[in-house]
């Protein structure tokens, strides 16, 4: 486990994919919530968040190449939901360990899941199930 965490710590910061960064951040946080690499990745993800409102009342994460509106499901919606779920799960772990700094941040991310529209007709059933499972996992921490 330690060698896997070391590998992720060394290589994840150079990855461009927001999804891969979110999964890596979650994995490192599970392994060691006080990891400097996990902290740096979470900080980089905070800078990549898409936000609605000023001050932000909604945060979610998409690949930088996605230009679709978050309210209109398309082929990128599944990855957006998964990416946001992994960031939310990471933040929830941080909340459990140090609730003061992350609670408002958590509320803004969680709000995304309450507003996310249901899937479009073209979405594959397995993708819907995966999104559902990640969302349930995220909500089960509350």
User: Which pLDDT score, from 0 to 100, does residue 112 have?
Assistant: 61
Q: What is the fold of 2-140?
A: Glycosyltransferase (1.50.10)
Put simply, whether the predicted model's pTM sits higher than 0.75 gets the answer no
Asked if residue 28 lies in contact with residue 37, where contact means CB atoms within 8 angstroms, the answer is yes
pLDDT < 50 positions in the chain: 121-123, 126
Contacts of 31 (CB under 8 A, 6+ apart): 1, 5
55 upstream amide cis, omega within 30 of 0: yes
How far apart CA 110 and CA 132 sit, in angstroms, is 14
Domain ranges of the chain: 2-140
User: Which pLDDT score, from 0 to 100, does residue 103 have?
Assistant: 58
């Amino acid at each position: 486990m330690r060698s896997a965490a070391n590998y992720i710590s060394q290589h994840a910061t150079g990855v461009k994919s927001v999804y891969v960064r979110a999964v890596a951040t979650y994995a490192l946080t599970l392994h060691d919530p006080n990891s400097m690499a996990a902290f740096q990745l979470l900080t980089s993800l905070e800078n990549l968040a898409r936000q609605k409102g000023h001050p932000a009342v909604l945060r979610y994460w998409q690949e930088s190449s996605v230009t679709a509106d978050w309210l209109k499901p398309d082929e990128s919606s599944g990855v957006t939901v998964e990416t946001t779920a992994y960031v939310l799960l990471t933040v929830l772990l941080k909340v459990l360990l140090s609730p003061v700094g992350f609670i408002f941040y958590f509320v803004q991310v969680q709000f995304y899941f309450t507003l996310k529209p249901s899937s479009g007709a073209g979405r594959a059933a397995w993708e819907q199930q995966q999104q559902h499972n990640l969302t349930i996992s995220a909500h089960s921490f509350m």
